[in-house]
Amino acid sequence: MAHSTETMDGPSMARQLAARFINLKFIEILMNRLIGMIVMAFSISVLVFLLIRLVPGDPVIEMLGSQAASEELAARLRGQLGLDKSLPEQYWNWITGVMHGDFGYSYGYQRPISDLVALNMPASIQLTASALFISVALGLLIGAWAAVARNRAPDTIGMGIAITFMSIPSFWLGLLFILLFAVQLQWFPVVGGTSLAGLVLPALTLGIGTMGFNARFVRSSLISTMGQNHVMTARAKGLSRPKVFFRHVMRNSMLPVLTVVGLQLGNLLSGTVVVETVFSRPGLGRLLVDAIMAKDYLTVQACVLIIALIYALSNLLVDLMYPILDPRIARR
């Protein structure tokens, strides 16, 4: 009796086993990171909930202004806002609402916080994306220029530029840009808006401030790759310098840089707090500063939690892209 069996050669079976293992590894990484994000979000929510209440001042007094002398009115408003409850009760009411997508009501702006976030988030994303492009592009150019001319004048100049901009605080750099390009040269508006002209100076301030770190990391990554065996072999085969650099050096150096870019995304988003305030630009950072000044507890808690979650999500995406860009990582 003839049996029809489906045979599989060795390479095909190895590919299927490798694909299955990579999928399991991917799921394992995803689950670990998601659990870490949940723990991180809970910790930050508790921390910001407690810290904002240590800020001197009473939000009810801030809201009432000249009417704050009325104890009855203040007590009634405190009860409406839930500020008369114990801290555990206040936190539980807030966090359960957040888990259902409700960040609460801003008593400073007199509107739902979700509406405020939806109104200001696009401007912050626009600024962060523009600054990230400037930071990565200039960092790659200066870092590659310094690595190719290692220990020569371009290397010294490039790293000098990187260290200089790393050392300048973003608020001071922003003020210098306003003085030079907006007041003296009048190329751009003093107050940054959502237009393209109003975006240039804030994006340059935020991007150039982090460009130096990217340039230094790109330089060290490229120099490390240049000394590896496969690069020396490519040179020995007679390949041209540009072909060796772009095909063998640059491609193998970008994976570590990807991690830095993921971290920079979170840093840039948190940096919008200073830059948006300096340029009087709308955004999540400006909303956070105004909420702190107004003792608007729920708005501060929502802004900090959202920024932290975006930071964690950007790092999660980087971790998940690693096995895709370099399958060797998935097999470890």
Query: What tens digit of pLDDT does each residue of 111-168 get?
Result: 889 999 999 999 888 898 899 899 888 988 888 888 888 888 888 888 888 888 888 8
pLDDT tens for each residue of 179-199 = 888 888 888 887 766 678 888
Taking residue 62's Cβ as centre, other Cβ atoms within 10 Å add up to: 15
Residues of CATH 1.10.3720.10 domain(s) within the chain? 119-293
Sign of CA dihedral 331, 11, 254, 21: negative
Residue 94 near residue 287 (C-beta atoms within 8 A) = no
pTM over 0.85: no
pLDDT at 1 over 60: no
Band (2; pLDDT cuts 50, 70, 90):
very low
Residue 265 pLDDT greater than 60, yes or no: yes
Mean pLDDT across the stretch 199-208? 89
pLDDT of residue 5: 44
Q: Which amino acid is at 206?
A: L
pLDDT band at residue 327 under the 50/70/90 scheme? low
- According to DSSP, the β-strands at 111-112 and 105-106 are antiparallel
**Using one digit for the tens of pLDDT, what is the confidence trace for 289-319?**
888 888 888 888 899 888 888 888 887 777 7
Please answer whether residues 182 and 189 qualify as being in contact, where contact means their C-beta atoms are separated by less than 8 angstroms: yes
Give 22-50 pLDDT, tens digit per residue.
566 667 767 877 888 888 888 888 988 88
Any idea which of 20-24, 68-72, 248-252 has the lowest mean pLDDT? Answer: 20-24
Fold of 119-293: MetI-like fold (1.10.3720)
